[in-house]
Amino acid sequence: MSRAFRFAVQSFSAPSGKEWRERARHAEALGYSALHLADHVLGPGPAIAKTNHPVQSLAAVPAMMSAAEATRTLKVGCRVFCIDYQHPAVLAKQAATIDLLSDGRLELGLGAGWLRAEYEALGIRFDPAPVRIARLAETVRAVRALFAGEQVALTGEHVKLAGFAGAPARPLPSLMIGGGGRRVLSLAAREAGIVSLNFNNRSGVIGADGVKSSTADATAEKIGWIKSAAGARFAELELEIGAYFTFVQPGAETIAAGMGQSLGLTRDEMLRHPHGLFGSVDAVCEELERRREVYGISYVTVGDQALEAFAPVVARLSGR
């Protein structure tokens, strides 16, 4: 039996605290399940400009807490925390505190990090992907122990913690691990409750290489990796994806054609791209149901620029 649909909105900025809180309340009223941020630090300047990544003006942790305080049922999360930007014990304590103060509404997303220019601008060593993913695996183990309130004695290659227990102790929220390569998706398949499908951002920037790494065929291959690594627990996993190119409007097929041309993809490849949604409400609903059948993807995140236009899709499909 297919898992029921859930929908989230991801936001990077807000002009004021009032508007941020109103956005969270509005998303909740429209039926969105969660409000996500990302975990990026850089403000405007040449470092972020060369990555093609949008500027994130809000720090994730206080913005998540503000959104939780403004709402009653909306889950809050980060899609995903870069584990290299904070000490694992500090990150775990902040996450557990958010979960406590929001009465269990945290979705805890963790990732290995990928935005090379941000690492360089912050003076953080950008290790090869296998090293960053190994560190992510050790961080997951540490987070589990700290949430459980256990006294830790971890002596891994990357994470060393000893002589204290995690506080506040909390039931571990459904853990989200995201990425686009086989190694990180296999880790997610073994350790997470939510597997977040993303581009393979091996280039360290947003561009055609990443988009082409997540076409329909490439996504089918990723699902195969996840199934292989998950084994019997695959049926328990919730598969999530960011619909970065969402145009619920007349003439969206023309937008898909133009976007595809700029990225080296055909119109049909763009229309079937798992990170894109183009067309009427009926067409988008039909495509999401098809993708759930083909890939098992039931959790979809859109950007806040699509909050209103996508709302009829949320209303029709949520919980179905």
User: What is the pLDDT at residue 52?
Assistant: 86
Residue 191, pLDDT > 90, answer: yes
User: What is the pLDDT at residue 38?
Assistant: 94
Tell whether omega for the bond before 80 is within 30 degrees of 0, i.e. cis. yes
What is the average per-residue pLDDT within 55-83?
A: 97
What is the average per-residue pLDDT within 109-130?
A: 95
Instruction: Tell me the per-residue pLDDT of 26-56, one tens digit each, with 9 for 90 and over.
Output: 999 999 999 999 999 999 999 999 888 999 9
The CA–CA distances, whole Å, from 189 to 289, 292, 314 equal 22, 17, 26
User: What is the pLDDT at residue 319?
Assistant: 83
> Model confidence at 267, in pLDDT bands (50, 70, 90)?
very high
Phi and psi of 185, rounded to 5°?
Answer: -70, -30
Whose CA is closest to 156, among 81, 229, 83, 228? 83
What is the average per-residue pLDDT within 67-73?
A: 98
Fold exhibited by the domain 6-317:
TIM Barrel (3.20.20)
Burial class from Cβ neighbours inside 10 Å (0-12, 13-18, 19+) for residue 219 reads: buried
The CA–CA distances, whole Å, from 202 to 116, 205, 207, 307 equal 9, 8, 11, 29
Residue 202, pLDDT > 90, answer: no
> Alpha helix locations (H) across the chain?
17-29, 46-49, 60-70, 88-101, 116-122, 129-147, 182-191, 208-212, 216-230, 252-263, 267-271, 281-295, 311-317
> Model confidence at 208, in pLDDT bands (50, 70, 90)?
confident
> In the chain, what are the domain boundaries?
6-317
- In the structure encoding, which two tokens stand for residue 88, read together? 């694992």
Average pLDDT, rounded, for the chain: 95
Percent of the chain with pLDDT over 90: 91
User: What is the pLDDT at residue 75?
Assistant: 98
Does the pTM of the predicted model rise above 0.75? yes
Instruction: Tell me the per-residue pLDDT of 271-320, one tens digit each, with 9 for 90 and over.
Output: 999 999 999 999 999 999 999 999 999 999 999 999 999 999 999 999 88
3-state secondary structure of 305: helix
Residue 204, pLDDT > 80, answer: no
Burial class from Cβ neighbours inside 10 Å (0-12, 13-18, 19+) for residue 154 reads: middle
> Model confidence at 142, in pLDDT bands (50, 70, 90)?
very high
**Contacting residues for 79 by C-beta, under 8 A, at least 6 apart:** 8, 10, 36, 37, 38, 109, 176, 178, 196, 242, 301
